[in-house]
A and B are shown apart, each in its own frame.
Chain A
Amino acid sequence: DAKTTQPNSMESNEEEPVHLPCNHSTISGTDYIHWYRQLPSQGPEYVIHGLTSNVNNRMASLAIAEDRKSSTLILHRATLRDAAVYYCILTPYSGAGSYQLTFGKGTKLSVIP
């Protein structure tokens, strides 16, 4: 299965944009890219997902490189509530791997007031 690589931690100032990178150089053509985040003492929550095109929703934007070997989660204006661990996850379109959501260690985002 394709793996992802994320920085262990990042810092951002409040009200500034945040770009969280994820490398997935062994991604296959049918792997979806998912992002989840986990606020302190809570279960993970879905942020966004995409396949090839950039995606936007009310929480964030997902920018996917043209070769799909990397992606970036963009928080347009960080708030204190965005301090969390952010996970980048690949999910195959089909096969046994498509059933699972495999979490790595993620990136711990700290937001400075």
Chain B
Amino acid sequence: NAGVTQTPKFRVLKTGQSMTLLCAQDMNHEYMYWYRQDPGMGLRLIHYSVGEGTTAKGEVPDGYNVSRLKKQNFLLGLESAAPSQTSVYFCASRPEAPNTEAFFGQGTRLTVV
């Protein structure tokens, strides 16, 4: 199994450009998450989803949109990128239960210039 796969791994954007980050999981997990991690900081939750067709805001949702049209995919969109969105983005998934293990992707390093 591939687990959690993030696409792309690296990207440089100009201020104002848009892009979509793709997270794909092959474990049939209900819950999926998008986090960002700034240098020297812990992970902060951007948005999450508890099932196909549902999304919810996390701690730092401003400037991002998400969609979960298929259970295995969770998309993170930046409509108008800003330098403050330069970060490493991690996707995660886990089954529907509080005592289960979450699986993380390897991250997407995004630089906005």
Q: Which A residues are within 8 Å of any B CB, using their own CB?
A: 32, 36, 41-46, 49, 51, 85, 87, 91-94, 98-106
Contact = CB atoms under 8 A, between A and B. Distances in A.
B99 A49 contact: yes
A49 B56 CA distance: 25
A106 B41 CA distance: 9
B103 interface: yes
A103 B107 CA distance: 16
A41 B10 CA distance: 13
A99 B31 contact: yes
Contact of B48 (A32, A45, A92, A100): A100
Nearest to B41: A105
B33 interface: yes
Q: How large is the interface on B (under 10, 10 to 19, 20 to 34, 35 or more residues)?
A: 20 to 34
A98 B30 CA distance: 13
9 contacts: A32-B98, A42-B106, A43-B106, A44-B92, A46-B101, A49-B99, A99-B50, A103-B45, A105-B42
Given A92-B98, A98-B98, A43 B41 contact: no
A43 B45 contact: no
A46 B102 contact: yes
The 10 closest A-B pairs by CB, nearest first: A43-B104, A46-B101, A103-B43, A98-B98, A103-B42, A91-B98, A105-B42, A32-B99, A44-B104, A43-B90
A94 B97 CA distance: 9
